[in-house]
Structure 1
């Protein structure tokens, strides 16, 4: 292929790609497609770091060098904002690798059944994909028409802003440009369910073949269903089913966003989707017409939602916009406060007064900010100028446009700080538990580095006899500053004073290019007192209790099928005996799963053995463990471990959120490292990446954040319910999306820690990839029995 030389400028060396993807490591793996496996990595392109997606050709998937070169030729010639961008390729040492722009939200098929996307977002995605196809069918100038041949939801990729981009051109065909009718005779290729029936029967490929496939995608988006699904033990084809419902005017019974779609939008959208699926190609619309119809549907929906929102706002305003309502939200002394802090402030109503206080008022020479939160509780910000001990050390100061106060103090990053602080509050609510948080940032050279995301940070500080060293998440504020919580205290006096010494602040893993730390402010906010009973219900081996009264309702309808998968003889047991047996748990599938029932919810639980799901050929870390359900376990060491959990729909109870646990214990050689004993967890649910978590191998209260008393502590305002609580309760098994989870003891003698946020509708997913990365030596000597899925609560 002599023309290949014209693409030399796109070549990327194999060594660069291997380095960027950690040698195609499992932690960089993000999915698989018709071309082969896909990896995430960072390459330096055009002199700047760029996140990329790397597709590595595997001929076992049915595509080879012809499709590889066709993709390169296609994407180097045809450029459009709704087509995926090719950044480079590699053809060294028998490797065929394509390098694309990295699209962080992956592919549309992952969201068909998800509530993550609103109906307007779905419409925008469909319009974007339609515009990409419109460009391929009617390109500019003299370029040839492109017939994609494999339009499907998994080939519509989504960037961080949910913009749709058509991908995967390995099966595409070129046709004559600027002709009303184009057809080619070719061998039939494509994906079952999406492929035009007429093309499959005759071999005649036309642009209307892509239109048919796109119509299937439109119905997938509308109905929240895949084009081919198993239903009552037979395959259901969405195109046929949707057409039938459309003709019978029953489409509203199968749409996904029922009740959220404007009637005009539904009619316009479904009609164009129905026309795409017509057998006669002359009755199918052109992509230009499809774009116009979808844009019209979007206009109907935007207008509908605007009117709906206005009605809701008016209704809420009438209900809550009263003087009595806003008076209840304000502190009792709010009018005295506004007169003292801002005597020139103008307000006519309690609502306007609340707005002034909620926004915040500068006082004390503009070095403090007073505000009230949504609950009317007082909050305070204090600038570094007010709490740093100016007599003990000279400082450098810096101003900036993102600074809330006039200046921040600069300290060398590598040094022991030894910053002495005198912190005095004066405007907080008595009897309220507060959190004191430090707001800071870093510098590279002279450039301020604001947090792009939350950072794992280490902090050391002292207060009287107390010396605190902890590692936890520094949260990113809206303006880019990082905030790390230092201590809690019960405010018992109008003035609370603290004398602390800040010794060191650093990233958990040192970054050599960081030069300085900017100390900006101390922030005092009320702590939400969480109820201790919130969390996951139903550990195994729960004693018989009131939970067992309605046991008949909690036995799963398919329990006979589950029992048949057990190697125990259970045929003569009555239903009540089977219920209690299932609550205790049984081995099924030849000992490769542990199944049980959660008494609290009646939901199904199951555990997968580590020896089956660990993605590794190394058998040296296997152990015989007598108290393991599976009689074997895995002993971890340093590095990253990947577990692949196959999700079976009949192992989950529909309508439940699930928690995913690592079930483990410590070897005798394991070193307990207090607050430093933690590891990082990331996961992929099918092709969708989840946020990372920090799992702690200890039972400390939240990240070693102490409750301390101010130097001039006054107990007169102690509230009875707070005085009995040593810490603001944040249960180890939180149901929120916290960055941290702590281990807990199980009734079976093992321990467990949650690995990710609550997982919803797991019965609709196939694979969960879990990656454990050792931070220091935390995982060294941890013995893993398996990963368990347990219901948390029913979704509303």
Structure 2
């Protein structure tokens, strides 16, 4: 059997991880590293290298029983299933180890644990609860969807403990040991199998007939929805492990009698669930528990209803809202010819539809409302791109687009547009964006160099959009202009001239008008709220690293927290420690400590620097090499910022800088590349008319790769991102930075590198 098993596992060699590495990462399966226990065995956390890089992982170790192969089918099934099914709301398999008697599976680490831990916790808001349910529903819908190319997968054990949460509270469905595969591209799959699953969640029809369908997962998910709604498990057990009380019948009866408010989860610190959101959530949960499988919704329907409930809760609007009632006739008017026609039963449902986005103008315009009720509008490329002799490429329907007419295929970035927006909100600051997708997406990158030249009709000088960033809907956005709308319509002719530096092939979806999202400005008092919980547990150890540790020790804890927020020098004045507004650790290393390496550079004293010494560069390339003490960071994702000053003559700093992580001693880099700019590039502002107020794009969200002025007078720009790991003593950083132009970085002064939580 072992030989056959080893032969079978050959096809998954890229997932293989040595037992020695796993025992080292878990400190020989130390109890301190254990984060869970299940029927399969214990789960541990540890930092490991795997085929996607190196990160904190969850390590599931099978209960050792060398006398038999108990658990082998489930072990193999998870490897097969999770190798084939990839989705952001499914837990990812990162590797496995099969070295008798060990059978170990390695997954991405969901640092917040499983949903069952938070059912009766006020820590999760109703918005977060709805978002978690929606994420899990999307994962299950992906498994069930017969339109996908993969075979349908029936999970068979949907429950709260199998819904894991990462550090951003994104939900991921896990544990595929009991899953069964059906045929692809067929409407129904029925499998006859012995009853399995978890008491309380199991489909009653499945328990009686042993016939399994995707609707069995739907029933189980309905139980999960009611558990989240009511803040308690679906049943209780006595000391012998037998079911003591089942709550599902009670929940169903409460729904029928419209008495859900009697059983819904409440807490003094928890903002109530919007009644319209409650109705939407409870309606779909009840339908999931229908005795007849044929009457249960599909998971795709569940996703749509949960999206609606989430939008309602986030908007927290009602039909009595004055602003909404005054505008309702306008919205009804512009959506009369929506494509496809809108189907809604109340004005609130119409608001939800508009918040998600609808197609207008025979499918040529995408219209939506943001959370402030401001209008967003996108004109399809088919409606706005003008015929061009210089770049005559076909229209493409091969890329998923909200517009049925497809996207415009551009190689050199040369095309003309005539953009007419009709539905803008008056006196709102808008950004004008090019929305597109790359034909060859770059793995792992959320920010890419684009350097696209463009100008308005009649202008002589080109502007440049330097970087594009990926947003939540999978599209990439390059910002072109900003302006304040004085009316609902605007007519622009934009000429796109070329790409500089690189020549990405893009599929243009359209030109978008989106209200400018202002940066959240937090007052100093916000930072001091609940300071007792924000002060690090190990703050006394950190104080010992300070140059002024004696003075700090004499302070009261609240005063110490105040000093921590302002920041102070540690480790002989070569590093800087502080806390952000949420009490997360921030850490800055001087250029001396982090290690700036280059062909020619020089150290020089600079009293204006907090460290008193800086590095001045002379060539076009340098490296950042150093080790970071994990004790001085919180466990989460950190953005890495270069802190610097430019000389007076900034003309040579026009070109972007490429960043590659060096992964071996020969200086080879990874396939992950980032770009950033050292000079601030202001978005062009479309000049206002005489009667309009002037506009200066301030307090906008920070865009990765674009520098910002710091309060201390220095410049900073995000150059990298890393994940901390509590099981490592140090974090190794090795980055190679090279300007993409011919110019050198002569005169660039580097103060250091700062790490702040994302």
TM-score interval, normalised by the smaller of the two chains: 0.5 to 0.7
Residue 423, structure 1, aligned to residue 401, structure 2: no
Change (3 A) 1:342 1:128: same
**Selected match of 1:462 from 442, 455, 458:** 455
Deviation string for 1:93-116 (max 9, x for gaps)?
A: xxxxx999xxxxx9899xx999xx
State the shift of 1:522 in Å.
1.7
Distance, in Å, in 2 between the alignment partners of 1:362 and 1:221 is: 37
Question: Is the 1:661–1:754 Cα contact (8 Å) retained in structure 2?
Answer: yes
Deviation string for 1:263-289 (max 9, x for gaps)?
A: x99999xxxxxxxxxxxxxxxxxx99x
- The match for 1:475 is 470
- The match for 1:384 is 381
Distance, in Å, in 1 between the alignment partners of 2:637 and 2:71 is: 50
Distance, in Å, in 1 between the alignment partners of 2:87 and 2:66 is: 19
Change (3 A) 1:697 1:358: same
Distance, in Å, in 1 between the alignment partners of 2:604 and 2:522 is: 36
Question: Is the 1:622–1:634 Cα contact (8 Å) retained in structure 2?
Answer: yes
Residue 338, structure 1, aligned to residue 319, structure 2: no
Residue 744, structure 1, aligned to residue 709, structure 2: yes
Instruction: Write out aligned runs for 1:388-787 (5 A).
Output: 388-390=385-387, 395=392, 397-400=394-397, 402-405=400-403, 407=405, 413-414=411-412, 417=414, 419-441=415-437, 454=446, 455-463=448-456, 464-465=458-459, 467-475=462-470, 478=473, 482-505=476-499, 508-510=501-503, 514=505, 518-533=507-522, 575=555, 588-589=570-571, 591=572, 593-595=574-576, 607-614=588-595, 621=601, 623-627=603-607, 633-636=614-617, 637-639=619-621, 641-649=623-631, 651=632, 660-666=640-646, 672-674=652-654, 676-680=655-659, 694-700=675-681, 704-709=682-687, 715=691, 723=693, 725-727=695-697, 729-730=699-700, 734=702, 738-745=703-710, 747=712, 750-755=714-719, 766-767=730-731, 769=733, 771-776=735-740, 780-781=745-746, 782-787=748-753
State the shift of 1:460 in Å.
0.8
Distance, in Å, in 2 between the alignment partners of 1:518 and 1:222 is: 37
Deviation string for 1:665-724 (max 9, x for gaps)?
A: 3468986424x344547699xxxx999765432344xxx3222158xx695xx6xxxx46
**Selected match of 1:349 from 346, 349, 365:** 346
Say which SS state the counterpart of residue 428 (structure 1) adopts.
coil
Instruction: Write out aligned runs for 1:127-276 (5 A).
Output: 129=60, 138=69, 162-164=91-93, 167=96, 172=99, 207=101
Distance, in Å, in 2 between the alignment partners of 1:325 and 1:299 is: 39
Question: Is the 2:455–2:462 Cα contact (8 Å) retained in structure 1?
Answer: yes
Distance, in Å, in 2 between the alignment partners of 1:128 and 1:598 is: 31
Q: Which moved more, 1:126-135 or 1:379-388?
A: 126-135
Unmatched 5+ stretches in structure 2: 19-23, 45-57, 76-85, 133-157, 163-176, 179-193, 203-219, 232-254, 265-272, 280-316, 664-669
Distance, in Å, in 2 between the alignment partners of 1:509 and 1:744 is: 28
State the shift of 1:349 in Å.
1.9
Residue 306, structure 1, aligned to residue 225, structure 2: yes
Change (3 A) 1:326 1:664: same
Question: Is the 1:433–1:491 Cα contact (8 Å) retained in structure 2?
Answer: yes
Change (3 A) 1:661 1:398: closer
Residue 78, structure 1, aligned to residue 2, structure 2: no
Question: Is the 1:388–1:421 Cα contact (8 Å) retained in structure 2?
Answer: yes
State the shift of 1:504 in Å.
1.7
State the shift of 1:457 in Å.
1.2
- The match for 1:59 is none
Question: Is the 2:36–2:43 Cα contact (8 Å) retained in structure 1?
Answer: no
Say which SS state the counterpart of residue 456 (structure 1) adopts.
strand
State the shift of 1:622 in Å.
5.0
Change (3 A) 1:646 1:708: same
- The match for 1:196 is none
Distance, in Å, in 1 between the alignment partners of 2:360 and 2:160 is: 55
State the shift of 1:386 in Å.
3.0
State the shift of 1:462 in Å.
0.9
Say which SS state the counterpart of residue 461 (structure 1) adopts.
strand
Say which SS state the counterpart of residue 494 (structure 1) adopts.
coil
Deviation string for 1:762-793 (max 9, x for gaps)?
A: 7987425363532415883334333345689x
Question: Is the 2:641–2:719 Cα contact (8 Å) retained in structure 1?
Answer: yes
Change (3 A) 1:729 1:113: farther
Question: Is the 1:743–1:751 Cα contact (8 Å) retained in structure 2?
Answer: yes
State the shift of 1:139 in Å.
9.5
Distance, in Å, in 2 between the alignment partners of 1:317 and 1:767 is: 44
Distance, in Å, in 2 between the alignment partners of 1:345 and 1:750 is: 52
Length-normalised TM-score, structure 1: 0.51
Distance, in Å, in 2 between the alignment partners of 1:585 and 1:526 is: 35
Change (3 A) 1:461 1:304: same
Say which SS state the counterpart of residue 462 (structure 2) adopts.
strand
Unmatched 5+ stretches in structure 1: 1-73, 89-97, 101-105, 147-157, 174-206, 225-251, 269-286, 443-447, 539-546
Distance, in Å, in 2 between the alignment partners of 1:458 and 1:741 is: 13
Aligned length: 548
State the shift of 1:432 in Å.
2.1
State the shift of 1:461 in Å.
0.8
Question: Is the 1:422–1:497 Cα contact (8 Å) retained in structure 2?
Answer: yes
Distance, in Å, in 2 between the alignment partners of 1:375 and 1:581 is: 37
Distance, in Å, in 2 between the alignment partners of 1:673 and 1:326 is: 51
State the shift of 1:742 in Å.
1.6
Instruction: Write out aligned runs for 1:276-315 (5 A).
Output: 296=198, 305-309=224-228, 311=230
Distance, in Å, in 2 between the alignment partners of 1:441 and 1:714 is: 38
Question: Is the 1:436–1:485 Cα contact (8 Å) retained in structure 2?
Answer: yes
- The match for 1:94 is none
State the shift of 1:611 in Å.
3.3
State the shift of 1:346 in Å.
5.4
Distance, in Å, in 1 between the alignment partners of 2:553 and 2:685 is: 54
Deviation string for 1:609-631 (max 9, x for gaps)?
A: 33343386x89645243546656
Question: Is the 1:640–1:773 Cα contact (8 Å) retained in structure 2?
Answer: yes
Length-normalised TM-score, structure 2: 0.54
Distance, in Å, in 1 between the alignment partners of 2:503 and 2:31 is: 41
- The match for 2:275 is 318
